[in-house]
Chains A and B, each alone.
Chain A
Amino acid sequence: MRANDAYISIQAVSKHFGPVRAVDDISIDIRSGEFFSLLGASGCGKTTLLRMIAGFESPTHGEIVIEGVPMSQVPPYRRPTNMVFQNYAIFPHLTVSKNLAYGLRYEKIDKAEMNTRVGEALEMVKLGGFGARRSHELSGGQRQRVALARALIKRPKVLLLDEPLGALDKKLRADMQLELRALQESVGITFIFVTHDQEEAMTLSDRIAVMSHGQVLQIASPKELYNRPVNVEVADFIGQMNFIDASVSRMSGERAELDTAGLGRISAPTGEASFFQEGDAIVVAIRPEKLTLSGDRNGGREGVQGVMRAATYLGDRSHYYVDLPGREEPLVVAGSDSGPMDHDPLERGSPVLVSWADDALVLLPRDEALASASREESSSNGT
Chain B
Amino acid sequence: MTQTHDTLRGRLYAFFLRSEPVRGFALLSPTLLIMLAGMCVPFVILVAMSFWTQHVFEFDTTLSLTNYNEIVDKPMYRVLLTRSLAISGACTVATVLLAYPMAYYVAFHVHRHKMVWIVLMTLPFWSSYLLRVFAWKIILGYNGAINASFMGLGWLEKPLEFLLYSPTAVVITLTHAWAAFAILPIYVSLEKIDRSLLEAATDLGDGPVKRFIGVTLPLSLPGVIAASLLIFIPTVGDFVTPALVGGPDGAMIANLIQVQFARVNNWPMGAALSLAMMVIIAAISLLYIWTARRFTEYGR
Q: Flag whether B205 is at the interface (Cβ < 8 A).
A: yes
Contacts of B210 in A (CB 8 A): 106
Residue in chain A with minimal CB distance to B297: A93
Residues of A within 8 A of B199 (CB): 56, 76, 83, 85, 89
Complex CA distance for A75 and B210, rounded to whole angstroms: 14
CB atoms of A77 and B200 under 8 A apart? no
Q: How far is the CB of A317 from chain B (nearest CB, A)?
A: 40
State whether A82 touches B203 (Cβ < 8 A). Answer: yes
Closest CB in chain A relative to B208 CB, distance in Å:
9
Interface pair B203/A93, CB less than 8 Å apart: no
B219 at the interface (CB under 8 A from A): yes
| Chain B residue, CB-CB nearest to A79 | B203
Q: Tell me if B157 is interfacial: C-beta within 8 Å of chain A.
A: no
Q: Give the distance in Å from the alpha carbon of A92 to the alpha carbon of B202 in the complex.
A: 16
With A85-B199, A87-B194, A87-B196 as given contacts, are A93 and B218 in contact (CB-CB < 8 Å)? yes
How would residues 196 to 225 of chain B score, 1 for a CB under 8 Å from any chain A CB and 0 otherwise?
110111111111001000110011000000
Say whether B205 contacts A103, CB under 8 Å: yes
A93 to B203, alpha carbons, bound, how many Å?
Answer: 18
Choose one: B202, B205, B298; the contact of A106 (CB below 8 Å): B205
A233, chain B: closest CB distance, angstroms: 31
B residues in contact with A75, CB < 8 Å = 202, 207
B200–A91 touching, CB < 8 Å: yes
- Determine the distance from Cα of A271 to Cα of B296 in the docked complex, in whole angstroms: 66
Complex CA gap A102/B210 in Å reads: 11
Nearest Cβ on chain B to A287's Cβ, whole angstroms:
39
Residues 121-167 of A at the B interface (beta carbon under 8 Å): 150-151, 154
Q: Which residue of A lies closest to B210 (CB)?
A: A106
Supposing A85-B199, A93-B218, A93-B219 touch, asked if A77 and B194 sit within 8 A by C-beta, the answer is no
A59 vs chain B, min Cβ distance (A): 17
Chain A residues with CB under 8 A of B194: 87, 89
Neighbouring B residues of A151 by C-beta, 8 Å: 203
Give the chain B neighbours of A86 by CB distance below 8 A: 196
CB pair B297 A94 closer than 8 Å: yes
Q: How far is the CA of A102 from the CA of B204 in the complex (A)?
A: 7
Complex alpha-carbon distance, A81 and B204, angstroms:
9
Q: Is the CB of B297 within 8 A of A54?
A: no
B296 CB, min distance to chain A CBs, angstroms: 6
Question: Please, which residue of chain B has its CB at the minimum distance from the CB of A150?
Answer: B204
Judge whether A93 and B205 touch: CB under 8 Å: no
Once the chains are docked, how many angstroms separate the CA of A153 from the CA of B297?
23
For the complex, give the distance between the alpha carbons of A39 and B170 in Å: 63
Interface SS of B by simple majority = helix
How far is B297's CA from A93's CA once the two chains are assembled, in angstroms?
7
Q: With A92-B219, A93-B218, A93-B296 in contact, is A83–B197 under 8 Å at CB?
A: no
Give the Cβ gap from B195 to chain A, nearest Cβ, in Å.
Answer: 9
Alpha-carbon distance A76/B203, docked complex (angstroms) = 6
CB-defined contacts of A85 to chain B, threshold 8 Å: 196, 199-200
Please measure, in the bound complex, the distance between the C-alpha atom of A83 and the C-alpha atom of B200, giving whole angstroms: 7
Shortest B162–chain A CB gap in Å is 42
A78 CA to B215 CA, complexed, in Å = 18
Q: Known A94-B297, A102-B214; judge A89-B205 contact (CB<8 A).
A: no
For window 64-120 of A, CB contacts with B under 8 Å fall at: 75-78, 81-83, 85-87, 89-94, 102-103, 105-106
B195 nearest in chain A by CB position:
A89
A39-63 interface bits toward B, Cβ cutoff 8 Å, 1 = contact, 0 = none: 0000000000000001010000000
Residue pair A77, B206 in contact (C-beta under 8 Å): yes
Cβ contact within 8 Å between A77 and B203: yes
**Which residues of B are found within 8 Å of A102, using beta-carbon distances?**
201, 204, 214
Contact of A83 among B203, B205, B214, B296 (CB under 8 A): B203
Could you tell me the distance in whole angstroms from the C-beta of A75 to the nearest C-beta in chain B? 8
Q: Which of B201, B202, B210 has the most CB of A within 10 A?
A: B202
Q: How far is the CA of A85 from the CA of B204 in the complex (A)?
A: 12
Nearest A residue to B203 via CB reads A83
Residue of B nearest to A134 (CB): B300
Q: Let me know if A89 and B214 touch, CB within 8 A.
A: no
Q: Which residues of A contact B197 (CB under 8 A)?
A: 89, 91-92
CB distance from A326 to the nearest CB of B (A): 53
Q: Say whether B204 contacts A154, CB under 8 Å.
A: yes
A78 contacts across to B, CB distance below 8 A: 205
Q: Which residues of B contact A82 (CB under 8 A)?
A: 203-204
* Minimum Cβ distance to chain B for residue A104 (Å): 9
Which residue of B has the minimal Cβ distance to A147?
B200
Q: How far is the CB of B225 from chain A (nearest CB, A)?
A: 13
**Cross-chain contact A93 with B298 (CB below 8 angstroms):** yes
B223 nearest CB across to chain A (Å)? 13
Cβ-defined contact, A77 with B207, below 8 A: yes
Residue of B nearest to A103 (CB): B204
Per-position binary interface string of chain A over residues 325-368, scored 1 when its CB falls under 8 Å from any chain B CB and 0 otherwise: 00000000000000000000000000000000000000000000
A-chain residues with CB within 8 Å of residue B297 when the two chains form the complex: 93-94
For the complex formed, measure the closest distance between the CB of B193 and the CB atoms of chain A, giving whole angstroms.
10
Residues in A with CB closer than 8 Å to B215 are 91, 93
Q: Using Cβ atoms and an 8 Å threshold, which residues of chain B touch A103?
A: 204-205
Residues of A within 8 A of B203 (CB): 54, 76-77, 81-83, 151
Q: What are 29 A-B pairs at a CB distance below 8 A?
A: A54-B203, A56-B199, A77-B203, A77-B204, A77-B206, A77-B207, A78-B205, A83-B199, A83-B203, A85-B199, A85-B200, A87-B196, A89-B197, A89-B200, A90-B200, A91-B215, A92-B219, A93-B218, A93-B219, A93-B296, A93-B297, A93-B298, A102-B204, A103-B205, A105-B205, A105-B214, A106-B205, A150-B204, A154-B204
Other than A56-B202, A78-B205, A89-B200, give 20 A-B pairs with Cβ distance below 8 A. A54-B203, A75-B202, A75-B207, A76-B199, A76-B202, A77-B202, A81-B203, A83-B199, A85-B196, A85-B200, A87-B194, A89-B199, A91-B197, A91-B215, A93-B296, A93-B298, A105-B205, A105-B214, A106-B205, A151-B203
Which B positions have Cβ atoms within 8 angstroms of A? Answer: 194, 196-197, 199-207, 210, 214-215, 218-219, 296-298
